[in-house]
């Protein structure tokens, strides 16, 4: 471990010890993009082919591997700004593995859209954003948390709008940016009020200056504290996309390039949810009687909004967006259950992350591909030009009707998709079943029977959401010519890995349960 020696000046500022080893997963995720952007700037040929993708996936997996080596660590880092514990490590693992899968999907997306220009930027921003997410998960201090959230969000705003040829992506990015900026403002205001009430931004110190030990003026201080909690709750609710702060989700998910949608729905959402849980749990645990009802209301609203409004949608990405709102409802239930729900939260987050990545990945792979350019034949080029415009416009606008007969056209993809959808619906022998079961059991164990009942009902309604897609694929026929789709091996590997995890952990959930046990301490 390298530490700086301070000079013998009495005023010299005390250098915090930097635990390079324990920080290395985060450092890898943060420095790999810097290296990538430098190298590709100096060596233009690095942009060729799938090299950046392999680099990104490799870096992310390295980060995941290093995370795994830290498994039994449990300590504070960087003068208490970050913490390494099972909770953090599971979060890091989800984010890092998710980034690797998304990079593999992104590669395919770029090929399909014929859009090589931004390949470096896409990968770089993805990793920077993920590094922000890792900070959010580990943050033990509100300022650090805020910095993490901003790094996570700002990079994501750009990612959403990076497909410069798609107006809908630009619109989505702009909406996301404005709303995200407002929510960050709200969140920062919340931090300021909490600091005002307690005089600290450390989660542990906020917790110790709890309800009964606030400063000189209890009424003023606790009102500051409560409004601060409310504002932070609002900020977090926006970031995880809980109703009624969800309204950006469908628009942005639809507009964003599909792999980025997968990223937002998985890693970003998981990072925000874990940060949410940590703050609520570690800092405001003593105020749980005050905020728990609010979280349960948010959970119920999310369950209702996600499943019901989702039923009225036609566009597949919007359907999946509402489904993700529904999932947030379950995650909030786990957060509601405090200590009892920590394992359920991690289990749900992990299983949800790879299920949703696989789902969006397949959606992208199924989307009609562009015809290969024929270089010599002038006449073909004209036709291709017309086709291309049509494709670009419809590329992210697949509707339920477009899926008709998909089981014939892409039997493999349709089958994999069906498995993932069943998992999202919580059908037994998929991991989604265990995830939902654990969340509901967590609610039951804190005697929130009403909440558990709501969750079960919402799961039933949401099941219709997924079955509609399966029905469209398998029971509706379509006589049109089989459309060409070419998808790369890399993306297929990513998706198949997701499906294998879904089914494997569905039959034998023990490894994942093992992973998340004892994370509550």
Question: Which positions from 392 through 421 interact with another protein, judged by CB under 8 A?
Answer: none
| CB of residue 388 to another protein, shortest distance in Å | 7
Task: Count other C-beta atoms under 10 Å from residue 464's C-beta.
Answer: 13
Per-residue interface string for the shown chain with another protein, residues 441-460, x marking contact by CB under 8 A: x-------------------
User: Quick one: which of 76, 311, 400, 463 contacts another protein (CB under 8 A)?
Assistant: 311
Phi, psi angles (nearest 5°) of residue 202: -75, 135
513 is an interface residue for another protein by CB under 8 A? yes
Report the residue from 65, 464, 475, 493 that binds another protein according to the rule CB under 8 A.
464
Task: Name residue 82's beta-bridge partners.
Answer: 77, 139
Enumerate the H helices of 114-166 as residue ranges: 119-138, 142-161
First-to-last alpha carbon distance for the chain, in angstroms, is: 27
Give the whole-angstrom CA distance, residue 397 versus residue 317.
8
Is residue 371 involved in binding another protein (CB under 8 A)? no
Burial class (CB in 10 A: 0-12, 13-18, 19+), 114: middle
What is the SS3 assignment for 83?
strand
Distance CA 419, CA 355 (A): 9
Strand partners for 139: 82
Q: Say how far apart CA 101 and CA 57 lie, in whole Å.
A: 7
Q: Which stretch binds another protein (CB under 8 A): 141-149, 329-337, 431-439, 487-495?
A: 431-439
Tell me which of 79, 205, 251, 282 binds another protein, using CB under 8 A: 251
Residue 357: count other Cβ atoms within 10 Å of its Cβ.
28
Is 179 a binding residue for another protein by CB under 8 A? The answer is yes
Judged by CB under 8 A, which stretch of 90-98, 128-136, 234-242, 484-492 contacts another protein? 234-242
For position 372 contacting another protein by CB under 8 A, the verdict is no
Residue among 151, 230, 161, 156 at smallest CA distance from 193: 230
Place of tokens 């609203």: 301
Show the site string, 127-166: x = touches another protein by CB under 8 A, - = not: -------------------------------------xx-
Q: Rule CB under 8 A: which of 185-204 touch another protein?
A: 186
DSSP state of 428: T
- CA 221 vs CA 186, 218, 294, 350, 516: distances in Å: 19, 5, 21, 38, 37
The 3-state secondary structure of 246-264, one letter per residue: CCHHHHHHHHCCHHHHHHH
Task: Based on the shown chain and the rule CB under 8 A, indicate whether residue 253 belongs to the binding site for another protein.
Answer: no
Note whether 388 binds another protein by CB under 8 A: yes
Q: If binding is defined by CB under 8 A, does position 11 make contact with another protein?
A: yes
Among 74, 247, 288, 399, interactor with another protein by CB under 8 A = 247
Q: Does 40 bind another protein (CB under 8 A)?
A: yes
Q: Does 510 bind another protein (CB under 8 A)?
A: yes
Q: In the beta sheet, which residues pair with residue 315?
A: 399
- Mark the segment that binds another protein (CB under 8 A) among 66-74, 262-270, 303-311, 404-412: 303-311
| Interaction of residue 49 with another protein, rule CB under 8 A | no
Candidate list 29, 95, 226, 335; residue touching another protein; CB under 8 A: 226
Q: Site for another protein (CB under 8 A): which residue of 294, 400, 463, 500?
A: 294
Q: Residues touching another protein: how many (CB under 8 A)?
A: 80
Q: Does 4 bind another protein (CB under 8 A)?
A: yes
Q: Characterize the bridge pairing of strands 75-77 and 82-84.
A: antiparallel
Q: Of the candidates 93, 152, 155, 175, which one interacts with another protein according to CB under 8 A?
A: 175
């Amino acid at each position: 471990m390298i530490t700086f020696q301070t000079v013998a000046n009495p005023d010299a500022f005390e250098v915090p010890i930097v635990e390079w080893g324990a920080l290395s997963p985060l450092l890898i995720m943060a420095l790999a993009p810097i290296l990538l952007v430098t190298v590709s700037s100096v060596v233009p040929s690095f942009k060729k082919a799938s090299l950046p993708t392999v680099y990104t996936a490799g870096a992310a997996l390295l980060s995941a591997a290093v995370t795994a080596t830290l498994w039994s660590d449990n300590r504070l880092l960087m003068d208490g700004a970050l913490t390494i514990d099972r909770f953090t490590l599971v979060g890091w693992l989800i984010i890092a593995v998710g980034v690797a899968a998304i990079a593999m999907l992104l590669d395919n997306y770029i090929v399909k859209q014929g859009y090589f220009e931004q390949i470096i930027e896409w990968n770089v921003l993805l990793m920077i954003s993920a590094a922000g997410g890792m900070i959010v998960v580990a943050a033990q201090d509100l300022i650090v948390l805020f910095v993490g959230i901003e790094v996570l969000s700002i990079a994501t705003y750009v990612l959403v709008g990076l497909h410069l040829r798609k107006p809908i992506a630009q619109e989505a990015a702009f909406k996301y940016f404005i709303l995200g900026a407002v929510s960050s403002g709200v969140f920062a205001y919340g931090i300021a009020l909490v600091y005002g009430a307690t005089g600290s931004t450390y989660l542990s110190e906020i917790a110790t200056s709890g309800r009964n030990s606030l400063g000189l003026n209890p009424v003023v201080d606790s009102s500051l504290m409560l409004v601060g909690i409310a504002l932070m709750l609002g900020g977090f609710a926006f970031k995880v996309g809980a109703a009624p702060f969800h309204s950006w989700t469908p628009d942005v998910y639809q507009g964003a390039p599909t792999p980025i949608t997968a990223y937002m729905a998985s890693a970003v959402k998981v990072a925000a949810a874990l940060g949410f849980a940590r703050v609520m749990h570690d800092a405001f645990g003593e105020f749980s009687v005050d905020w728990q009802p609010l979280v349960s209301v948010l959970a119920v609203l999310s369950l209702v909004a996600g499943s019901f409004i989702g039923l009225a949608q036609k566009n597949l990405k919007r359907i999946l967006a509402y489904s993700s709102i529904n999932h947030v409802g379950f995650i909030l239930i786990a957060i509601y259950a405090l200590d009892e729900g920590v394992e359920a939260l991690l289990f749900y987050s992990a299983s949800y992350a790879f299920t949703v990545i696989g789902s969006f990945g397949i959606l992208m792979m199924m989307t009609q591909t562009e015809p290969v350019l024929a270089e010599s034949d002038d006449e073909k080029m004209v036709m291709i030009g017309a086709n291309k415009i049509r494709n670009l416009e419809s590329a992210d606008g697949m509707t339920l009707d477009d899926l008709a007969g998909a089981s014939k056209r892409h039997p493999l993809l349709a089958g994999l998709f069906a498995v993932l959808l069943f998992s999202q619906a919580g059908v037994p022998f998929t991991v989604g079943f265990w995830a939902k079961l654990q969340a509901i059991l967590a609610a039951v164990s804190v005697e929130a029977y009403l909440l558990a009942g709501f969750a079960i009902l919402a799961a039933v309604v949401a099941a219709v959401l997924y079955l509609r897609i399966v029905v469209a694929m398998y029971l509706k026929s379509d006589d049109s010519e089989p459309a060409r789709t070419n998808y790369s091996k890399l993306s297929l590997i990513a998706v198949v890995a997701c499906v294998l995890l879904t089914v494997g952990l569905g039959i034998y959930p023990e490894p994942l349960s093992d992973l998340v046990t004892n994370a509550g301490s």
